[in-house]
Amino acid sequence: MNSKHLSKGARQLSPVRKGKIRLYTNRFCPYCQRVVLILDAKNIPYEIVNINLLNKPDWMYDKSPMGKIPAIEMDNGEVLYESLIIADYLDEKYPQRQLHPKDPLQKAKDQLLLRQFTKVINALLKSIHVGRVDNDEAEVITEGLTTFENELANRSGPFFAGQKPGMLDYMIWPWCERSDVLKMFGRAYILKKDKYKKLMDWRKIMMEDETVKKSCCDVNTHIKYLQSHRAGLPDYDLLCFK
């Protein structure tokens, strides 16, 4: 997972080994982490190819449009991209530990919640881009967190999927893992523990999940990476031995 990120000029890779999936990813991309979580949750054999997002290998553009990641390549040469598309495909293709709800109505409701969470993601990304959390973005984040706090109160267990994490849990986790970076912008108060008690409890037990542990980074690492990104020189290989 922490191998160096390949850049322009990197040699063409050999074909994917039989029975494996190759994941084109980036260590600090939350969309890529979504796919890692699904692969790990289902114990699907896969190999990692880390990609430098600012200087992608030429052959990456042959794998997916505009060299988009995350992308997975199967041993038959087929390639899929977009995190949610990949997650849905993997859940259907590998039925061990089904992550989507079995009830079609609940699955649809979870997908609506995930769409709503996209607003929170966009607010966070905008804040990171401009280097501050404006009041409009703070309001969007607060409203989104309130929705998910209330939703947890109606679930049958500590996770959105009940007694153990499911698709919705894993799809929103990468941004919840990074939520503490808000303190960089003086907005740590947004994550009020008394206001979002269930979410804070959820976050704590998610960090104890064996699947999450495999790809989780601590807040100091995320902040250090974010600082390098804002300086215009994102240190994708921050976790590699130098």
Active site residues: 29
**Dist. CA 217–CA 126, nearest whole Å:** 22
As a whole number of Å, the end-to-end CA separation of the chain is 15
3-state secondary structure of 65: helix
**Dist. CA 110–CA 113, nearest whole Å:** 5
Pairing of strands 21-25, 79-81: unpaired
3-state secondary structure of 6: strand
CA angle 111, 127, 34 (to 5 degrees): 35
Residue 86: HSE in the Cβ half-sphere, 13 Å Cα cutoff: 29
**Dist. CA 219–CA 217, nearest whole Å:** 7
Share of the chain residues as helix, strand and coil, in percent rounded to the nearest 5? 50, 10, 40
Dihedral sign for Cα 194, 195, 200, 201, please. Answer: positive
Q: Please name which of 68, 70, 69, 74 lies closest in space to residue 94, comparing C-alpha atoms.
A: 74
**Dist. CA 135–CA 44, nearest whole Å:** 42
